[in-house]
Amino acid sequence: MSKSIQSIRGMHDVLPEESPRWQQFESVVADIMRRYGYSEIRTPIVESTDLFCRSIGEVTDIVEKEMYTFEDRNGDMLTLRPEGTASCVRAGIQHGILHNQIQRLWYLGPMFRHERPQKGRYRQFHQFGVEAFGIADADLDAELILMCARLWRELGLKDIELQLNTLGSNAARQQYRQVLVDYLTAHQDALDEDSQRRLQSNPLRVLDSKNPELAEIIANAPSLLDHLDEESQQHFAQLRAILDAAGIAYTVNPRLVRGLDYYCKTVFEWVTTSLGAQGTVCAGGRYDGLVKQLGGRDTPAAGFAMGIERLLALMEEQQCEFALQPPHAYLIMQGEAAIQAGLLLAEQLRDALPALRLTSNCGGGSFKSQMKKADKSGAQFALILGESELAAGNIAVKPLREQGEQQSIEQAALAQHLTTLINGL
- Tell me the residue type at 386: G
> Minimal distance in Å, beta carbon 30 to ligand ATP?
19
Measured from the CB atom, the residue of 83 and 143 that comes closer to ligand ATP is 83
For ligand ATP, which residue of 122, 128, 176, 381 counts as binding (CB under 6 A)?
Answer: 122
Question: Residue 26 in contact with residue 151, Cβ under 8 Å?
Answer: no
Point out which span in 114-122, 167-175, 248-256, 341-349 binds ligand ATP (CB under 6 A). Answer: 114-122
> Minimal distance in Å, beta carbon 318 to ligand ATP?
16
Number of residues that bind ligand ATP (CB under 6 A): 19
3-class state of residue 285 by DSSP: strand
> Minimal distance in Å, beta carbon 120 to ligand ATP?
6
Residue 259 touching ligand ATP (CB under 6 A) = yes
For ligand ATP, which residue of 307, 353, 374, 398 counts as binding (CB under 6 A)?
Answer: 307
Query: What's the CA gap between 63 and 377, in Å, rounded?
Result: 47
For ligand ATP, which residue of 64, 69, 78, 115 counts as binding (CB under 6 A)?
Answer: 115
3-class state of residue 116 by DSSP: coil
> Minimal distance in Å, beta carbon 305 to ligand ATP?
4
Query: What's the CA gap between 265 and 119, in Å, rounded?
Result: 32
Which string of x and - marks every residue 216-255 that binds ligand ATP (by CB under 6 A)?
----------------------------------------
> Minimal distance in Å, beta carbon 195 to ligand ATP?
16
Residue 309 touching ligand ATP (CB under 6 A) = yes
Query: What's the CA gap between 198 and 202, in Å, rounded?
Result: 5
Measured from the CB atom, the residue of 112 and 381 that comes closer to ligand ATP is 112
Angle at 145 between CA 40 and CA 84, to 5 degrees: 40
For ligand ATP, which residue of 54, 90, 113, 198 counts as binding (CB under 6 A)?
Answer: 113
> Minimal distance in Å, beta carbon 259 to ligand ATP?
4
3-class state of residue 279 by DSSP: coil
For ligand ATP, which residue of 12, 21, 121, 357 counts as binding (CB under 6 A)?
Answer: 121
Residue among 412, 383, 422, 415 at smallest CA distance from 400: 383
> Minimal distance in Å, beta carbon 99 to ligand ATP?
27
For ligand ATP, which residue of 49, 79, 103, 127 counts as binding (CB under 6 A)?
Answer: 127
Question: Residue 112 in contact with residue 81, Cβ under 8 Å?
Answer: yes
Residues 6+ positions from 276 with CB-CB distance below 8 Å: 119, 120
Measured from the CB atom, the residue of 270 and 330 that comes closer to ligand ATP is 270
Residue 83 touching ligand ATP (CB under 6 A) = yes
Point out which span in 94-102, 161-169, 307-315, 326-334 binds ligand ATP (CB under 6 A). Answer: 307-315
3-class state of residue 76 by DSSP: coil
Calculate the dihedral angle through the C-alpha atoms of 80, 131, 142, 215, rounding to the nearest 10 degrees. 20
Can you say whether residue 344 is alpha, beta or left, with left for phi > 0 and alpha for psi between -120 and 50 degrees?
A: alpha
How far, CA to CA in Å, does 297 sit from each of 47, 93, 101, 168, 180?
21, 8, 11, 21, 31
Helices 138-155 & 230-245, crossing angle to 10 degrees? 30
- Tell me the residue type at 180: L
Point out which span in 25-33, 97-105, 119-127, 184-192 binds ligand ATP (CB under 6 A). Answer: 119-127
Q: Which residue is nearest to ligand ATP (CB)?
A: 307
> Minimal distance in Å, beta carbon 114 to ligand ATP?
9
DSSP letter string, 332-347: EE-SHHHHHHHHHHHH
> Minimal distance in Å, beta carbon 344 to ligand ATP?
47
> Minimal distance in Å, beta carbon 206 to ligand ATP?
14
List strands edge to edge, sheet with 46-48.
Answer: 46-48, 77-80, 68-71
Question: Residue 66 in contact with residue 49, Cβ under 8 Å?
Answer: no
For ligand ATP, which residue of 38, 107, 125, 263 counts as binding (CB under 6 A)?
Answer: 125
Residue 305 touching ligand ATP (CB under 6 A) = yes
Residues 6+ positions from 424 with CB-CB distance below 8 Å: none
Q: Using the 8-state DSSP alphabet, how is residue 226 labeled? A: G
Q: Which parts of 273-302 interact with ligand ATP (CB under 6 A)?
A: 278, 280-283
Residue 47 touching ligand ATP (CB under 6 A) = no
> Minimal distance in Å, beta carbon 138 to ligand ATP?
21
Question: Residue 78 in contact with residue 70, Cβ under 8 Å?
Answer: yes
**Which residues of the chain form contacts with ligand ATP (CB under 6 A)?**
83, 113, 115, 120-122, 125, 127, 259, 278, 280-283, 305-307, 309-310
